[in-house]
A and B are shown apart, each in its own frame.
Chain A
Amino acid sequence: MDKSFWKIFALSSAVKILLIPAPHSTDFEVHRNWLAITHSLPINKWYVDETSQWTLDYPPFFAYFERMLAYVAYYVDKEMLNLHKLNYNTIATIYFQRCSVILMDFLYAIGVYRCLRVSNVPLKSQQYLATASLLLFNVGLLFIDHIHFQYNGFLFGILLLSISYMLEERYVLSAFIFAILLNFKHIFLYIAPAYAIYLLKFYCLAKGRNKFICITKLLVFGLIPFVISFAPFHNQMEQVLKRLFPFKRGLTHAYWAPNFWALYNVGDKVAAKLLGITTKTGPTTSSGLVKEFAPLVLPNITPRTTFVLTLLSMLPIMIKLLAYTPLRDAKATFLRAIVICSCSAFMFGWHVHEKAILMSLIPLCLLFHLYPTDAKHAFLLSVVGYFSLFPLLFETSLLVLRYALYLFYMFLMYGQMVRLYTPLRDYKTNLIENCYIYGFVLLPIYEHILSVNLNLHLSLPFLPLLLTSVYCALGVTYFFISYYLYTLGIKPVALFKSFTKIETTSKTKTKSKTRTQQINGDKVKLK
């Protein structure tokens, strides 16, 4: 047992408890409604009920989880389980739901703990404390789970558990846990390709293993959770799937997640302005009211297009993982593949929420203490990704809070990075990245000072959101490309430089490599 880890966890839980009275979003009512649905309706009505607009759209394990919570909720406040008490938020309800999130985060702590143990970092070392505090005090989870209200913490806990077993080479158990996770929240399907390829290459096709037995084992244990979860709904599968994959929603969410489509939409608007095409009557994409949107100039995007684009963007890393990954790099490449898969989905997916960036950020933290270049990328994406969550915390009482927590986390991360890697140069950000990061100071200045004083907040109320989303989209795109190239082993600098200089770059490459090895030494066994 390591005391300092659990002390950091206790401190983070204390902050979470302190956040209980923070204003919550409609997701609070969504989960209350699910409590009510699972408590008061027979199981075959769960995915049919439409009493509230917040219908159940998570897979069955999550519904079972809500059913379990409802058993406790019954003794706290019966009325919150009443299906017709819409927007019911008494103090008891708030404390109950908030506390359930905080308690479930224990699973997250276990996941973090196991991942750290598996990476064999010595206890009480700087690396250990850095990653532990970055994961346990993850500001994104504080924002989304403990202010905005959702249950991401324990889901990521399950993911980290699964990853930790994978790194321990207990493949079947890892796959089994990942399958359970998919039945809690199906958005994790986006990282399934990384799991599938990795298991195929390093488990099924590994030397000295019987391929047939391996595949059978994986299939059996991978499917058991699905069977358990969907069995009660076997005669209404179509209805359940319709709920789980609602393609009726638009390409972009009301607030544009900072991805490729945000840039696409802006490009469309700019092109329309330039060509003098005016909007047809009705609300526009940024007004936050409309579900569907047709671009004016650029081609219309269908779910199928996004699906193909997502898969295409995952292809290089899949090939790399399958064919060009030596055994000693396997585990690190697996983690990077998870990050890249989820980031691909974030970039090109259909109706992406800004919250989904956490799926890249949290696995990336696991590499933070191991490799300087990964640490740098983790820092860059954190600066962008957590900033892009700000529109979720729009209440005035949360304004200073969100900036203070954000700054706390970013400086913590930067300070740890400097501590861990100071003799090296790989972690340092370059000039363009610096300018981009400093640019984030301008967004709040515009939003809180300029737009209010120039009365722009009345005529252009959505401009701050638009600017945030577009500016962050640039950063995520940059991260995506840069990290992808790094993972594939392509140095972007080398591409630009003339061939004569290749020799020098390869020299520096080896230099930095040996340095990295010196730093990581024997402590790290992520071979």
Chain B
Amino acid sequence: MIFAAYKLDIVTALSAALALRTIVSLYSYSGAGKPPMYGDYEAQRHWQEITTNLPPKDWYRNTSDNDLLYWGLDYPPLTAYHSYLLGSIARRYNASFVELYKSRGIESNEHKNFMRLTVLFADIVLYLPGLLIASLAILKQQQVKKSLLLYLIPMAFYPGQILIDNGHFQYNNISLGLCLLAIASIYKEKIYLGAFLYTSALNYKQMELYHALPFFVYMLRTCFDQKKFSTKAKTFILLALTVSSTFIVLWLPWLQSLNSISEVVGRLFPIGRGVFEDKVSNFWCAINVVYKVKDKLLNQQMAILCFGLTAAFVLPINIHLFFNKRKETFILSLVNTAMSFYLFSFQVHEKSILLVAAPAMLLFSRYPQETFWFLEATVFSMFPLFIKDGLILPFFILLFIYHVVIKQFILEHFNFLESRSTILSAISSVSVFSMFITAFISLIVPPPTKYPYIWPLLISVYSFVHFILYFGFSLKHQFMNDGNNKLKSK
């Protein structure tokens, strides 16, 4: 029984990552003990109830058995099928988990164990292997070969995804796992597989649209890069076929009439909500501190403004990608596009930062210190959410573990020759330290009565500053680095 030491290290790291997820699973989830609406946990459970009890046609439709105001299904079909699958297992296991109406707000240890296990299952089967495959793909591209662990650990131990999926309760591990696998396929030049995986990710969670443009642009450019016209056309048609057939298969139950399609689409993209709900660390929320845009403009006008500003950032980024098709630029443009959406678009959740963090994790080996700093800021930006969910202790501990593991055992393997890095290291240490302090103070010091939301606001503005800095950093690297490389190659 002889295995190479590095392979054993990988299994060790993955088991440790899984162990942390199982421990976080012991904690509370969103909306625990908060009737009548509860939280995301109940939403996921309710979808299992709806999908197992009603025909697919009625899943997205308001009927006498499906009250859309009570956590109506508003995720794309793949989530619905996943819920159906889980619901069927739940019914076999204990029928009361998914009984129509009666199961609403069910809260027992047995049910919590079941739900937690479903997330852990997705971690084991999809997300953690996905991270491994993605880090292998990135490693292949590197000129200087380093231990795979240096790529894997920063991804597998990232507290943001753990706290949201295994704590708060969601299945981002599925959509992000599919997306990372799609990126890995593209890294390995398997663009059809990549197209299929990305389409699946998009059909699991519509928020994956944040990543759509770079994928589209990169694949389009791949078609243009073919030498002959016939292969160009062939590649394009095959890609189009992959994407559209995936869509058709997944949307089959709703394709009979235009009406039912629009019902589903209407559920996925509701326009009725405001620009932001809670405090989000994005541009609009930060602007709101000095100038109350939200009150001055109508919702419709606001939406147009958001759209315009997002497009102003997203378009140049992706046009640049089209003319500079490189794998690293692809990752950078994924980060930049997702970040533009997060910072400037309409109706953003604090959890959407995970969509920026996921591709950013792949940049870790390239820009270790900056990315590490940014990743910690993303976790910090969700702190108000973790307070609500009763995840304060895991937030602090996981961030501490992440900080120590990366800072002490990973970063030292990336040799920094530039003197700048020590200054940067000092600044980032101070900044991360003040995040811990701010989070801690916000817990023990009650806010002044005049400003009851001062702490969440401070946290969101503080994180916003970090996001803007990282945005600028990665924009700079997207637009500048290629030039440098070209000069060098000449």
A22: nearest chain-B partner, CB-CB: B26
Residues of A contacting B117 with CB < 8 Å? 396, 400
B8 touches A411 (CB 8 A): yes
Q: How far is the CA of A415 from the CA of B9 in the complex (A)?
A: 6
Residues of A contacting B120 with CB < 8 Å? 400
Interface string of B4-23 (1 = CB under 8 A from A): 11001101100110111111
Q: How far is the CA of A441 from the CA of B147 in the complex (A)?
A: 29
Residue A41 at the chain B interface, CB threshold 8 Å = no
Residue A4 at the chain B interface, CB threshold 8 Å = yes
B23 touches A15 (CB 8 A): yes
Residues of A contacting B408 with CB < 8 Å? 4, 7
Residue A17 at the chain B interface, CB threshold 8 Å = yes
Residue B279 at the chain A interface, CB threshold 8 Å = no
B404 touches A396 (CB 8 A): no
A418 touches B1 (CB 8 A): no
A95: nearest chain-B partner, CB-CB: B393
Tell me the B406-452 residues at the A interface (CB within 8 Å): 408
Residue A437 at the chain B interface, CB threshold 8 Å = yes
Q: How far is the CA of A465 from the CA of B405 in the complex (A)?
A: 37
Residues of A contacting B116 with CB < 8 Å? 397
A18 touches B22 (CB 8 A): no
Residue A414 at the chain B interface, CB threshold 8 Å = yes
Main secondary structure of the interface of B (DSSP, over half): helix
Q: Which of A20, A411, A412 has the most CB of B within 10 A?
A: A411
Tell me the A428-451 residues at the B interface (CB within 8 Å): 428-429, 434, 437
Residue A85 at the chain B interface, CB threshold 8 Å = no
Residues of B contacting A15 with CB < 8 Å? 20, 23, 397, 401
Residues of B contacting A411 with CB < 8 Å? 8-9, 11-12, 15
B19 touches A408 (CB 8 A): yes
Interface extent on B, as a size class? 35 or more
Interface extent on A, as a size class? 20 to 34
Residue B2 at the chain A interface, CB threshold 8 Å = yes
A429 touches B397 (CB 8 A): no
A401 touches B1 (CB 8 A): no
How far is the CB of A478 from the nearest CB of chain B, in Å? 16
B394: nearest chain-A partner, CB-CB: A18
B26 touches A429 (CB 8 A): no
A18 touches B23 (CB 8 A): yes
Interface string of B232-247 (1 = CB under 8 A from A): 0000000000000000
Residues of A contacting B23 with CB < 8 Å? 15, 18-19, 22, 401
Residues of A contacting B404 with CB < 8 Å? 7, 10-11, 14
Q: Which of B16, B25, B400 has the most CB of A within 10 A?
A: B16
Tell me the B19-36 residues at the A interface (CB within 8 Å): 19-27
Q: How far is the CA of A411 from the CA of B24 in the complex (A)?
A: 22
Residue A122 at the chain B interface, CB threshold 8 Å = no
Residue A270 at the chain B interface, CB threshold 8 Å = no
Instruction: List chain B positions with a Cβ less than 8 A from chain A.
Output: 1-5, 8-9, 11-12, 15-16, 18-27, 109-110, 112-113, 116-117, 120, 393-394, 397-398, 400-401, 404-405, 408
- Other 8 A-B pairs with CB < 8 A, given A7-B408, A400-B18: A14-B401, A18-B23, A21-B26, A397-B109, A404-B19, A404-B22, A415-B9, A428-B1
Instruction: List chain A positions with a Cβ less than 8 A from chain B.
Output: 4, 7, 10-11, 14-15, 17-22, 396-397, 400-401, 404-405, 407-408, 411-412, 414-415, 418-419, 422, 428-429, 434, 437
- Name 26 A/B residue pairs within 8 A (Cβ), A-sorted: A7-B408, A11-B401, A14-B397, A14-B404, A15-B23, A17-B397, A18-B393, A18-B394, A18-B397, A22-B23, A396-B117, A397-B26, A397-B109, A400-B120, A401-B23, A401-B25, A404-B16, A404-B19, A404-B21, A407-B15, A411-B15, A412-B12, A414-B3, A415-B9, A415-B12, A418-B3
